[in-house]
Amino acid sequence: MSLPSGYSIRPVKASDYKRYLEVLSVLTSVGDVSPSQFEKLLDHWAANSLIYFPRVIADAEDNVVATGMIVVEQKLIHGCSKVGHIEDIAVDKSQQGKSLGFLLISHLNSIGEKEGCYKIILDCSPKNTGFYEKCGYKDSGVQMAIRYD
Amino acid sequence: MSLPSGYSIRPVKASDYKRYLEVLSVLTSVGDVSPSQFEKLLDHWAANSLIYFPRVIADAEDNVVATGMIVVEQKLIHGCSKVGHIEDIAVDKSQQGKSLGFLLISHLNSIGEKEGCYKIILDCSPKNTGFYEKCGYKDSGVQMAIRYD
């Protein structure tokens, strides 16, 4: 399986502002984020580049069509090993059927493995477990959450 | 509910080496971590002090009896908000029945809320959901994992 011709997986950049927010809004509430806030956020992620790995899939015109992130957490357990957290996977609705989600997850998995993660985890709704199983993931427990919004 | 007399919740420190590893080993494999690796790890966490909040409960003799961490992730979604990840909660077996787990989770929740998290999440086995429900958490989905060890 491979990306459509001209498509690429790359880090997010400031000029992705509009499309990045549009694609992410498929997933959840993005809220009110200005271009300058977006740049500041990218600077913050870049300043912590061994922790945050924000990636996008861009089409042949370099427009963002999918977003995803792996957050690499430095732990003590397992001999000072690391755990990767896959976050905020979103694929533009017009791009379904091209396996972009699978290809992005595979890319983020390879970043996590290269960074020395002994495991990578993510949380999903029960209806999406089949997709993540195709990406090599297994059901490993329950996600619990407490909300302050 | 409050801590036993003389007990405190505080950040982990280098002199906790032996007890911190002992308490964490209740939870999972700690592996081979030397005192200098431990100090280096604490330096790394301290250098990223807006992300990693490693905390312990110490008894009246300042010995570690419980460990826990909240990792605060800076996101774009929800107006450039944050999500807290509760990690590596362990309570010494000799200290059961003192609500130390509950008190530590409550403390980590308050750190996450103060840091501006719109939600805090954690993963657990199905048998522990009742405990986390007492801490204010709700079942929110499935944890999926891929392992490289």
Residue B7 confidence (pLDDT) above 90: yes
Kindly report, residue by residue over B32-81, the tens digit of the pLDDT: 999 999 999 999 999 999 999 999 999 999 999 999 999 999 999 999 99
Question: Has the ipTM of the complex gone over 0.85?
Answer: yes
Kindly report, residue by residue over A4-41, the tens digit of the pLDDT: 999 999 999 999 999 999 999 998 999 999 999 999 99
What confidence score (pLDDT) does residue B121 get?
98
The answer to whether B144 contacts A121, with C-beta atoms less than 8 Å apart, is yes
Q: Are B135 and B120 in contact (CB under 8 A)?
A: no
Q: pLDDT grade, residue B1 (50/70/90)?
A: confident
Core vs surface per residue B123-145: b (16+ CB within 10 A) or e: bbeeebbeebeebebeebbbbbb
Q: How many CB pairs under 8 A join A and B?
A: 199
Please measure the distance between the N-terminal and C-terminal CA atoms of chain B and give it in whole angstroms. 40
Nearest Cβ partner of B123 from A74, A80, A121?
A: A121
What is the length of chain A?
Answer: 149
Instruction: Tell me the percentage of chain B whose pLDDT exceeds 70.
Output: 100
d(CA B9, CA B98): 14
The minimum CA-CA distance between B144 and chain A, rounded to whole Å, is 5
d(CA A72, CA A82): 7
- Tally DSSP H helices, then E strands, for chain A: 5, 6
Q: Are B64 and B14 in contact (CB under 8 A)?
A: no
| Predicted structure pTM score | 0.96
The answer to whether B144 contacts A126, with C-beta atoms less than 8 Å apart, is no
The minimum CA-CA distance between A94 and chain B, rounded to whole Å, is 21
Strands A138-147 and B138-147: antiparallel
Which tokens hold the place of B44?
């790394």
What confidence score (pLDDT) does residue A1 get?
83
What confidence score (pLDDT) does residue A74 get?
98
Q: pLDDT grade, residue A95 (50/70/90)?
A: very high
What is the rounded average pLDDT for all residues in chain B?
A: 97
